[in-house]
Chains A and B, each alone.
Chain A
Amino acid sequence: MATNLLVILPEILLLILAGLILLLDVLYKDRSDSFFSWFTAIGLVLIGLISVFFNYPGDQRQLVWGGMLRVDTAGFVFRLLFVTGAAVTSLFAAKVKAIGNRAVFFALLVISTIGMSFMSSAADLIMLYLAIETTSIPMYILAGFSVKENNSVESGLKYLLFGAMASAVMLYGFSLLYGFSGTTQLYGIVEILQSGAVSLSLQLLILFLVIAGFGFKVSAVPFHFWAPDVYHGSPTPISGYLSTASKAAGFIVLMRFLFSAFSYQQTYWGLLIAIIATVTMFTGNLLALAQKNLKRLFAYSSIAHAGYILIGVAAGNHLGIKASMYYLIAYLFTNLAAFGVISIVERKKGSSEIEAFRGLVKSSPGLAIILLVSLLSLGGIPPFGGFISKVLVFASAAEANLIWLLLVGVLNSIIALYYYLQIIRITFEDTEEIDLIPVSKTWKFALGVCVTGIIVLGVIFTPWLNLVTTASTNLMLLH
């Protein structure tokens, strides 16, 4: 029992943190503007450290809580990723209009992190569904959190309607999966599917239904309709969180599901995922070319990046999973930095249209350079994290003999580079007016963390690569 409790210690602490935030809201009235941001961020970092010291599973894989959770390094790595993402997001949320000083916002953020953390280690359909809902429901509220803003409430409602439908479709797949295999444990289902007790057409139907649900979470085409509207309308720190941590949670669930329950049908889902990846990359990048709003552009770019990450999943080999994980870690820092800059500029100028960023280098050179770093990393330029992750993803496609997918990926990177460079050109344009943008210490710190992350992941990659190697090996092993 004691070891069982130790395994979910980080989640228990997260729950306590959420409670403390709500309690302090009532008890501590004369707090400063960014008190909750720092409180949440420091709490999350401490929990992350505790998890590093007490919860590193090494090379062990173990089913705990009656097979509900699987403790392995993959879950560990992603839990750290979510905690880091939430900490940075809460720092960016400081002083943002209508959310900066609201305890509920931070409590919901922490609760959705608990859900994601469980998503990354769920090994049972019941736990999986519960974790997905624990993540999604607070995210619906967070997307619609600025109740005085037209865009925010609209994006919250749209997210909820799409999300509820996608999770119902996925759940129908789960019910069939349970019905025909007689168990809800992912690692038990695989044995029954392997024995051939369930017909192939039925298995493919279940696969379609479930991938529809997960595809919604990772915003893969054709389940991406919500993404542009929601990223555009949500409070900007939440858009950043949705496009990084929430996407990563969707990916770990997708990978764990495919490599446990359906690990013997790889030829089928490999092809399916490869097709989805192709469509996703093209849709994301081509639609991004036409965008006038930077948040919306980043939404389409984020759809395209889901496509790149799916290449690694489609390759389905060890290198592919490793590449996808590395990509998600690098993408976390990169996209959070980009959305952080957008959030700061938006607060000053009241708009996130691309025009508002014209001549940003004059009004704030620091912000312009951080945006430059993050865009170059997204475009896959060395020495940033995005470069290493792209190389790994493409290498995995080559190793799996998916040369056409590799070519599609490279072609798309070039298209993407066009609009990334376009934004860089606009931000570095020489303009007459100089309207200084103030950057508070909290934001400076958060942006510093992101930039450090981008550069470290691009330069000193060996330790992280070793970590994701262990994680991917353990994820792919059934026992």
Chain B
Amino acid sequence: MIPLSWYLIFAALLFAIGLFGVITRKNSVAILMSVELMLNAVNINFLAFWHYHTQNSGLPQVNAMVFVAIVFIAAAAEAAVGLALIISVYRQRKTVVVPELDTLKG
């Protein structure tokens, strides 16, 4: 039986990698991928905690499972919209690298 803290440390590392990626990556597709990593870290957290709580209390809980499902759905919707926006940016500018998108500044 793997203790809860291992899952939490794993999720925290995954989250940190994702956050690092969002901050340092220049390509919008890579930024979106990093965001997905962060969301996966959240899901691992939820499921680990859910398992811990149900083992501890013996009561069947569903809220974390529902939460994870909703995070999945929202992440999929976000990725769909994100890719659509990336395509429309690419059609206009022929690039998806964020520092090159600099018409708006000041």
Contacts and interface: CB of A to CB of B under 8 A. Distances in A.
Does B bind A?
Answer: yes
Interface stretch (A24-32, A178-186, A253-261): A178-186
Given A175-B46, A178-B46, A130 B32 contact: no
10 contacts: A141-B81, A144-B88, A144-B89, A147-B88, A148-B92, A157-B85, A160-B78, A164-B78, A164-B82, A169-B19
A362 interface: no
B2 to A, nearest CB: 16
A183 B63 contact: yes
A70 interface: no
B70 interface: yes
A165 B35 contact: yes
A175 B49 contact: yes
A456 to B, nearest CB: 35
A228 B98 CA distance: 16
Contacts of B8: 179
Interface in B64-106: 64, 66-67, 70-71, 74, 77-78, 81-82, 84-86, 88-89, 91-93, 98, 101, 103-106
A151 interface: yes
A156 B88 CA distance: 10
Interface in A135-194: 137, 140-141, 144, 147-151, 153-158, 160-161, 164-165, 168-169, 171-172, 174-176, 178-179, 182-184
Contact of A178 (B39, B67, B86): B67
Given A141-B85, A157-B82, 18 more contacts: A125-B67, A140-B81, A149-B92, A151-B104, A156-B88, A157-B86, A160-B82, A164-B82, A165-B35, A169-B38, A171-B71, A172-B41, A176-B45, A178-B49, A179-B45, A183-B63, A290-B106, A291-B106
B31 A161 contact: yes
Contacts of B45: 172, 175-176, 179
Interface of A: 125-126, 129-130, 133, 137, 140-141, 144, 147-151, 153-158, 160-161, 164-165, 168-169, 171-172, 174-176, 178-179, 182-184, 228-229, 232-233, 290-293, 296
Question: B interface, by DSSP: helix, strand, loop or mixed?
Answer: helix
A67 to B, nearest CB: 10
B89 A154 contact: yes
B42 interface: yes
Contacts of B98: 158, 161
